[in-house]
Amino acid sequence: MKHTLSVLVENTPGALSRITGLFSGRAFNIESLNVAATLDPTLSHLTLVTTGDEFIIEQIIKQLRRLVDVFKVVDVSEGEFVEREMSLIKVRAEEESRAEILRMCDIFRCKVVDVSPKSYTLEVTGPESKLKAVIELLRPIGIKEITRTGAIAMIREKKTI
Amino acid sequence: MAKMTGKQMVVEALKREGVDVIFGFPGGAIIDLYDTLEKDGAIKHVLVRHEQGAAHAADGYARASGKVGVCIATSGPGATNTVTGIATANMDSVPIVVFTGQVPTALIGNDAFQEVDIVGITRPCTKHNYLVRDVKDLPQALKEAFYIARSGRPGPVLVDLPKDVQNARAEFDYPQEIKLRSYNPVIEPHGKQIERAYRLIEKAKRPVIYAGGGVIISDAYKELRALAKAMYIPVTMTLMGLGGFPGTHKLSLGMLGMHGTYCANMAMANSDLIIAVGARFDDRVTGKIEAFAPLAKIIHLDIDPTSIQKNVKVDVPIVGDCKRILKKLLDAVKDAGRPAEAWRDQHQAWLQQLDAWRKRHPLTYKKESGVIKPQYVIEKLYEMTKGRAIITTEVGQNQMWTAQFYKFDEPRTLLTSGGLGTMGYGFPAAIGAQMAFPDKLVVDVAGDGSIQMNIQEMATAMEQRLPVKIVILNNQFLGMVRQWQELFYDRRYAATEFEMTPDFVKLAEAYGAKGFRATKPEEVDDVLSKGLEAEGLVIMEFAIAREEGVFPMVPAGKATTEMLLV
């Protein structure tokens, strides 16, 4: 089962490596990992997507909390939450496909952020399912390169972590 | 506020934390701190012969005394030599603080001479660690290091000190109190969980207390005994828990697990309620996990939430300090007001059953004439020391025979590497324990294999005039591995036989210590009494039955009821 964890961690050198080391050392999975500063510059917000049965997820959360640098861990996928991921996709854009790509952009509300004679670079934002759909549709046209941010997530409504 | 150098800050912090002895070995990157320690003169330094010895000695000091042990090493190889000691302390939750020198900050990352990323190397085997890049951060880091090492589930903390930081100056504002927003171990148990636990205990017909090292770490010895006595609940101990409940008490079932007693393993297998106190259901205790305690509900007391539900499903988890939890449970028992007889009657059939198991297969060994049995040596050691010595062990058969045949009645009297299983731990740990208790009898029980892993510390013990007594059970084998080869590898003794072993008596003499040897059973008593009474450092070597095994034994991966008996 897939879980999205929000982790608030002290913004100190080595903190991220403690977290990734914990996952590799204890054979837990990381599907994606995203880190950036929060409003409070002494804390970083880390969004981590992982998989495992309930016992493994319980261990992951407990082990994360046990790290001296970890301030807070929440399994946001336990309740209602919003999840977004961004991707930059460089797609082959020859004469015959340029119009079709733009049409697809329109449907999926992607942005063209760079144009060259033979390619478009698209910015796609959305839940993972949408990114997957866009990638699948662009694949036959010819994807030259792709980068993804990994998911970031937030609990819905008034709650904060 | 007066400015101070980094090296002065370290010495000052050691004093404020009540450290009176440290173990270490100098080098270029830590020479500055050594200079300040020497000039200051207030803290006793024990010069070891290998940094691994320093880490184990700090660990032995900590386990014996309950205080934080401190060791110090230089950068690079000095630092890496402490890693086994750090990992040992980490697995057994021992509070030590390790200071390492580091190359100057400007050179970090340049592959400088004797540079190693020790903070990176020890990240997975410390509770926490610090590379202090700015002397202004040093007072806070020092305070945090000691606080984190000793609080919650204790463990090793490493502080890496670049050479320029040791010499830079800043104000020394040492915090009195400390509060970390991201580190708040739960000490007080939840009242609801106590109630739920009590309701299970009230109904149980075949309860067992399964006590681990947490009992000793949290000083919960009295509370545990009171609780067991109040409700007539039998107690089995893990290797780390030995001494946490008196081994000679009639409610004691002895040690459980791979080399535990028949009675203890049968008790777990047939119990309807296991009360785990500061233990972590390690594979050496549970055996085949699917077959572990199939009939039992489980109450698990532990300060570390990650220990709970890691290996087995738990019915009532109680997070907190074991001593506090046991006190609360004891209060709940008192409040319920059931007379002692009611508890006794409720568990009488169970206690009788346990007695029958105990009698059916007590801990024993085959006596043979003409050859020294290691178990006999331990029995005699127990008798002659009246069970009052601090015993350290190495790892392997020597460790298991000691755990089985020395009856530990008091906490902090058995110092042994349980989690990591570090050969070479016992002797330097004995040095640490003897530094903490100069007047107590400290005995290291060793095998001929493991004693050679840190034999160089003989010089340390001599230099410090430490009267540690070493018992070497010499079978000229790496005995435990040999036993596995005998049982599971068709007796192919791959690399376990020592064709050459030093003359340990002469070796003792070479260091200026005393050496005694017994090769026949009738010499055992004499060698032990001479050796224990002799002044100073002593080696007592016993040429034991070469292929003696440790039994009972649960083969790895088997259910704990599938014991190989004597």
Asked if pLDDT for residue A24 goes beyond 80, the answer is: yes
Do B114 and B149 lie in one domain? The reply is yes
| Residue range of the domain that includes B135 | 3-171
- Report the 10 Å Cβ neighbour count for B82: 32
Tell me, yes or no, if B102 is annotated catalytic.
no
The answer, yes or no, to whether residue B1 has pLDDT greater than 80, is no
Whether the predicted pLDDT of B40 surpasses 90: yes
CA distance A30 to chain B (A): 18
CB burial readout B201-239, b (16+ within 10 A) else e? beebebbbbbbbbbbbbbebbebbbbbbeebbbbbbbbb
Cα–Cα distance measured from residue B306 to residue A61, given in angstroms and rounded to the nearest whole number: 9
Count how many Cα atoms sit within 13 Å of the Cα of residue B140 in the half-sphere of its side chain.
10
Instruction: Tell me the CATH number of domain A2-78, given options 3.40.50.150, 3.40.50.300, 3.30.70.260, 3.70.10.10.
Output: 3.30.70.260
Chain A nearest CA to B123, separation (Å): 7
For the residues B91-97, what does the mean pLDDT come to?
Answer: 98
CA B288 to chain centre: 24
Q: Coil, helix or strand for B172?
A: coil
Q: Verify that B25 and B102 share a domain, yes or no.
A: yes
Convert the pLDDT of each residue in B197-215 to its tens digit.
999 999 999 999 999 999 9
Whether A161 has a pLDDT exceeding 90, the answer reads no
Please identify which of the residues B114, B346, B353, B456 carries the catalytic annotation: B114
Predicted structure pTM score = 0.97
Q: CATH number of the domain at A83-154, please?
A: 3.30.70.1150
For the CA atoms of A44, A48, A53, A55, what is the dihedral angle to 10 degrees? -10
Closest CB to A10: pick one of B120, B127, B182: B182
Option in B119, B124, B182 nearest A68 (CB) = B182
Please, what is the average pLDDT of chain B? 97
Per-residue pLDDT, averaged over B343-371, amounts to 97
Torsion of CA B398, B401, B405, B407, to 10 degrees: 60
Are residues B336 and B387 part of one domain? no
Is the pLDDT score of A158 beyond 80? no
Position B394 confidence tier, pLDDT thresholds 50, 70, 90 = very high
Q: Are residues B417 and B290 in the same domain?
A: no
ipTM of the complex: 0.93
pLDDT digits (tens, 9 = 90+) for B456-508: 999 999 999 999 999 999 999 999 999 999 999 999 999 999 999 999 999 99
| Per-residue pLDDT at A157 | 79
| Interval B119-131: pLDDT, tens | 999 999 999 999 9
Among B306, B328, B360, residue at a domain's last position: B360
**Is B530 an 8 Å CB contact of chain A?**
no
Q: Tell me the CATH number at B486.
A: 3.40.50.970
Q: Residue B398 has what pLDDT?
A: 98
Q: Is B530 a catalytic residue?
A: no
Average pLDDT estimate for A81-91: 97
Spatial CA neighbour of B127 closest among A134, A63, A117? A63
B185, closest residue in chain A (CA to CA):
A66
B342 contact partners, CB below 8 Å, separation of at least 6 = none
Chain-chain contact of A66 with B128 (C-beta, under 8 angstroms): no
Q: For residues B161 and B202, state if they share a domain.
A: no
With 80 as the cut, is the pLDDT of residue B112 above it? yes
| Domain count across chain B | 3
For residues B210 and B350, membership in a common domain is answered with yes
Asked if residue B182 belongs to a domain, the reply is: no
User: What is the distance between the alpha carbons of residues B505 and B508, in angstroms, rounded to a whole number?
Assistant: 5
Residue extents of the structural domains in chain A:
2-78, 83-154
The conformation of residue B275, written as its DSSP 8-state character, comes to E
pLDDT at A159 over 80: no
Contacts of B7 (CB under 8 A, 6+ apart): B32, B33, B35, B36, B166, B167
Report whether B392 contacts B444 (CB < 8 A): yes
The pLDDT tens digits of the residues spanning B287-312 come to 999 999 999 999 999 999 999 999 99
Q: Say whether pLDDT at B538 is over 90.
A: yes
Interface test with B, best of A22, A62, A70 (most B CBs within 10 A): A62
Going by pLDDT thresholds of 50, 70 and 90, the confidence category of residue B155 is very high
B564 occurs within a structural domain: no
Q: Does B105 touch chain A (CB under 8 A)?
A: no
pLDDT at B420: 98
Tell me if B130 is assigned to some domain. Answer: yes
Please tell me whether residues B384 and B428 are part of one structural domain.
Answer: yes
Question: CA-to-CA distance for B248 and B255, rounded, in angstroms?
Answer: 12
B179 falls within a domain: no
Q: What average pLDDT score do residues B311-324 get?
A: 97
Task: Say if residue B565's pLDDT is above 80.
Answer: yes
CA distance A34 to A20: 12
Q: How far apart are the C-alpha atoms of B10 and B16, rounded to whole Å?
A: 10
pLDDT tens-place string over residues B242-257: 999 999 999 999 999 9
Residue B185 in any domain: the answer is no
Shortest Cα distance, chain A CAs vs residue B120, angstroms = 8
Statement: residue B273 has pLDDT above 90: yes
Q: Is B114 a known active-site residue?
A: yes
Contact between B443 and B391 under an 8 Å Cβ cutoff? The reply is yes
- For the record, the structure tokens of B440 come out as 């107590």
pLDDT of B514: 98
Q: How confident is the model at residue B2 (pLDDT cuts 50, 70, 90)?
A: confident
Rounded Cα–Cα distance for residues A10 and B361 (Å): 55
Query: Does residue B176 fall inside a structural domain?
Result: no
Q: A71, B304: Cβ pair inside 8 Å?
A: no
Q: Which residues does chain B have within 8 Å of residue A23's beta carbon, measured at their own beta carbons? A: none
- Answer yes or no: do A62 and B127 touch at CB < 8 A: no
Q: Is B309 within 8 Å of A59 when comparing Cβ atoms?
A: yes
Contacts of A62 in chain B (CB under 8 A): 305-306, 308
Q: Please spell the DSSP secondary structure of A20-87, one letter per residue.
A: HHHHHHTT---SEEEEEE-SSTTEEEEEEEEE--HHHHHHHHHHHHHSTTEEEEEEGGGS-EEEEEEE
* Same-domain check for residues B202 and B343: yes
Q: Which residues of B345-381 are buried (b: 16+ CB within 10 A; e: fewer)?
A: ebbeebbebbeebbeebebebeeeeeebbbbbbbbbb
Instruction: Note if B113 is an active site residue.
Output: yes
